[in-house]
Structure 1
Amino acid sequence: MKTLFAFFVLLFVIPANAAVIDEIAALEKHKTVAVENKLAQQRTVAKAKPQTFRLSTGQVLNITHWQIVHFMKSDCQYCQHFNSLLNATAQQLGIPVFVYSFDGLGDSTFSNVLPVTTDVINDFSMNYHR
């Protein structure tokens, strides 16, 4: 008798659960469409217009994804003079500048710097000598 009662209870519960699951799926379907649309918009925005630079040899380079890596020291007079020129050139070309500082301090031109570590030096020197 208990088994028969449990069987009938399951017969009524399973279709009810299926209806709830279908309703949840219908609600979630709209969310995934909205998320897919948002991702598609982000992908179209993320594609940057190719930015080119012409060399004196006539060769044209695509510099859209380039970045200048600059090593400096905050109290170096040559760095301070060069930083203003570098910043102006980078802004003119639209190339971001990533600045490392040997003393961990910035200057008036580049205040947001990262300190130079031995790992940074090793990474850049290994890539340079390849």
Structure 2
Amino acid sequence: MKKDLPENRVVDIAIAVALERENIETKIWYVYLINLKNEPIENVLITSKGYGEKNGEPVKTSVLRHMFPKVESKAFVLIEPIDEETFGLNNEYWLSYYIGKNIYDKKFIFLPESIIDSNFIKLPVLNKPGVMIL
């Protein structure tokens, strides 16, 4: 039964979209996993996809899968580059990882138009401008 399963809550883990660099013609964006915990996480699996509507038509991106054997404490890993064209979609990142023998998972969704300058913060650990979901 679901009620018998332990509630392994994901805390101190973030997914962030960071502005890497920009010039007159373009901006370069990357998505990162940030481990704010005081311990490493292991066997990290992240799936990413975009979905929504564009010009009144349903749009879906490919599902991508990323695996990282270990993410150290107070560290980050690069998940993938992200195209500005997808900022008008829901950008979903589903994270699963282990601490010891316990598994944790959480879905992070950047809603359409949430990756905008007015939502920027200085991302912890990365020290870059961007948007983060805890």
TM-score (norm 1): 0.22
Compare CA radii of gyration and give the structure with the larger one.
Answer: 1
Greater relative CO (CA pairs within 8 A, separation 6+): 2
Query: By percentage of residues, which structure has more helix?
Result: 1
